Structure 1
């Protein structure tokens, strides 16, 4: 019975890292931003049709949201670590995506563009492999601590993202700012706490205790306050953009 309970707890923790339920605030220090991101991706992902490339797929946490895709292709940068720990179908050299021109119907990229040193090149590659009027769904942090160092290179404002997409042949269909309220500074505080307390190096049991007794109250309080405090679109966590490849 104890072993089964432990297994259920670990499964709950793993599921709530990228697919946060309401109860996920108890185990995930990043619950505020991850829950908002997951819900919005759920709204926009059905726009991605046909043969879909998940650029920077990691372990494919959002694959199940691609309900309109007929084929899923996960892509990662080619490195020994990525080949060992990621779940990619193809790997690329950081410059050229190994797919033919106009061979993809849709592209998904979640929280990845900040990790490439050549964003213009990558966006032009997305345009190259997309068929005309194919869709791109892109998310990227606006405010977030440096992470996955030394592979963290930039952040973009809404205008910055619009500029890099439009000059590479995309038309913006929709653009949203996520967590434009008091949850944004609350999440930044929790990210600071995560680093200061070195969550990632703690034993799993210690991580759970820290998340439940330190992070969860902040997440709940910020969520409650967000219902009664004003929004501020200048202070937000993430950008989400749905765009289409323009015909040339």
Structure 2
């Protein structure tokens, strides 16, 4: 298990990425509304942790339907979040065993270098009837395809146009692979969804292909996977 005190450069990197994303892009409002509705329906009345909450957009959206707590390793992002928030790593959760009714993570799980550690920690802190909801880019989404085939070229273009580096995607997941991973980790998949996303970039040269995807209705290239999982009594058998 990794100590929060050892975050060091990892926290600095996420601080940089938060500042970048704050200025460069955002998810489409329809996407945010759909995700918020799924979270409210499944997590109502529970004490809920948002892993990788950033500035706390979903903490605000869930307020009143459950008791949300935000966790992020970027102190800068958390300063803008409302409610109860904690600076910590997803791989070393500072919560008591069995103390949370639900955990969700949006746009974070696929960026973790050791996702199995997060699943193990989530299993520990969730109550016996706890729920875990993961939202990740589909393996057929544009970011995943770029990662697989055009990563070096796209990073170069992104740096030239946006004057910065794009965020790292450590892994991409098909629905089947994600289900297998969480099942090995002590969860039962209750349901899954494919949610259409949209991004807006300041640079028109980056915005153009994403707009084309929207117009051509190539939905698999612009979607994220949502899996809703129940914690089971089985001990995690994770491997990253």
Indicate the TM-score class for this superposition, using the shorter chain for normalisation: 0.5 to 0.7
The 1:217–1:102 alpha-carbon spacing in structure 2 relative to 1, beyond 3 Å, is: closer
Residues 70-115 of structure 1 deviation map (CA, whole Å, 9 limit, x = unaligned): 42210012xxxx1123346112245311111110001110010111
List runs of 5+ in structure 2 lacking aligned partners: 1-20, 148-154, 156-164, 235-240
If the length of structure 2 is used for normalisation, what is the TM-score? 0.64
Q: Is the 8 A contact 1:44 1:137 kept in 2?
A: no
Q: Secondary structure at the match of 2:129?
A: strand
The 1:150–1:40 alpha-carbon spacing in structure 2 relative to 1, beyond 3 Å, is: closer
| Separation (CA, whole Å) in 2 of partners of 1:71 and 1:94 | 19
Tell me which residue corresponds to 1:56.
52
Q: How many residues align?
A: 187
| Separation (CA, whole Å) in 1 of partners of 2:209 and 2:56 | 30
Q: Secondary structure at the match of 2:96?
A: coil
Q: Is the 8 A contact 1:41 1:65 kept in 2?
A: no
| Separation (CA, whole Å) in 1 of partners of 2:224 and 2:29 | 12
| Separation (CA, whole Å) in 2 of partners of 1:215 and 1:93 | 32
| Separation (CA, whole Å) in 2 of partners of 1:119 and 1:215 | 30
| Separation (CA, whole Å) in 1 of partners of 2:124 and 2:210 | 44
| Separation (CA, whole Å) in 1 of partners of 2:86 and 2:36 | 25
**Quick one: which of 52, 56, 68 aligns to 1:72?**
68
Tell me which residue corresponds to 1:166.
183
Q: Is the 8 A contact 1:111 1:141 kept in 2?
A: yes
Q: Is the 8 A contact 2:52 2:90 kept in 1?
A: no
